[in-house]
Each structure stands twice: as structure tokens, then as C-alpha cells.
């Protein structure tokens, strides 16, 4: 079975992909959705070019699509759906505890008839971070919300 991994450029999507690969999932693509207006990841604000460099470093092909935001769910569904003829049978996501995100991905995957895999779901964020570090990963802060500082 072939899977696509949701890739935001953050540590959680990276670690979810890594955990899925360790569990035997075949990841064929990293899926990334950027704002058509700003050319940045919609939720993290990471530049599209940085995502491209991350994908190159993993050796997994990047499936990067622009979205308008107003029809995000439909745009993501159409994009992921376009890969089903290539054999994609599931999607790996790095959600931990945000029900809204998980519900969105459950709807998209359910509508497409593909499996949703959430390796980090329900785990303590602190434990995930420690496991991430213990697995040899290093993270660099590439964007931050100025309102928090």
C-alpha cells in the first residue's frame, strides 16, 4: 500500500512520517499546501522553498499545491484525490490533539475512501518532543508568531 504524508514543515509532521515509515508504511509523497497569495504554508507560515528543500533532504517526492483558503477542504480533497489513480491508499498526518484538524482529515480521507493514519494522535506533546530528539532529529525555528513574543 502506498501512502502520502501530510508535510507542514514542522516537527510533528516530520516525526509522524518517520514513525509511519518505521511501522512499515510506504510513503510515496509528502503533501504540502501553500497559500496562493503568500507562497507559504497555510498554518505555519513556512516558505514554500524551505518545504522543497526539506523534501529533497528526505528523498521523498514533494506534492506541493497552492490553495486559496476559502475552499481549503475541497482543494485538499481534489489534490489528494488526484493521486488515487497512482495507487495512494492512505494519508499519514501528524495531528496530536486538535480535534478540528483530525475531523477535517477524517472527512477528506473518508470521502476519498482512503485510510487515515495518525501515529502521534493522543500522545503527550512532551513525550513526542523527547522521542523526536532521541531519534536523532534536530529542529530549527524557521517561523514564529510575533504575537506570542
> What is the domain extent for residue 75?
2-148
What backbone torsions phi and psi does residue 31 show, to the nearest 5 degrees?
Answer: -100, 130
Q: What is the pLDDT of residues 102-130, one digit of tens each?
A: 999 999 999 999 999 999 999 999 999 99
pLDDT at 53: 97
- pLDDT, mean over the chain: 95
Residue 56 sits at the vertex; the CA angle it makes with 81 and 139, to the nearest 5 degrees, is 100
What total number of domains does the chain contain? Answer: 1
Residue 102, judged by CB atoms within 10 A of its CB (0-12, 13-18, 19+), counts as middle
What backbone torsions phi and psi does residue 71 show, to the nearest 5 degrees?
Answer: -125, 40
pLDDT at 141: 85
pLDDT at 118: 99
* Residue 95's CATH number: 3.40.50.620
pLDDT at 102: 97
Range with lowest mean pLDDT among 10-14, 89-93, 113-117, 144-148: 144-148
Above 80 in pLDDT, residue 138? yes
The model's pTM is 0.94
Above 80 in pLDDT, residue 43? no
Q: What's the distance, CA 13 to chain centroid?
A: 5
Amino acid at each position: 500500500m502506498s501512502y502520502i504524508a501530510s508535510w507542514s514543515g514542522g516537527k510533528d509532521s516530520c516525526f509522524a512520517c518517520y514513525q509511519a515509515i518505521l511501522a512499515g508504511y510506504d510513503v510515496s509523497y509528502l503533501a504540502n499546501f501553500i497559500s496562493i497569495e503568500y507562497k507559504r504554508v497555510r498554518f505555519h507560515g513556512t516558505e514554500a522553498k524551505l518545504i522543497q528543500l526539506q523534501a529533497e533532504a528526505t528523498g521523498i517526492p514533494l506534492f506541493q499545491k497552492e490553495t486559496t483558503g476559502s475552499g481549503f477542504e475541497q482543494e485538499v480533497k481534489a489534490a489528494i484525490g488526484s493521486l488515487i489513480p497512482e495507487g495512494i491508499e492512505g494519508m499519514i498526518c501528524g495531528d496530536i490533539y486538535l480535534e478540528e484538524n483530525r475531523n477535517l482529515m477524517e472527512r477528506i480521507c473518508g470521502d476519498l475512501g482512503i485510510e487515515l493514519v495518525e501515529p502521534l494522535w493522543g500522545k503527550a506533546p512532551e513525550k513526542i518532543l523527547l522521542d523526536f530528539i532521541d531519534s536523532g532529529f534536530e529542529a530549527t525555528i524557521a517561523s514564529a508568531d510575533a504575537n506570542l513574543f
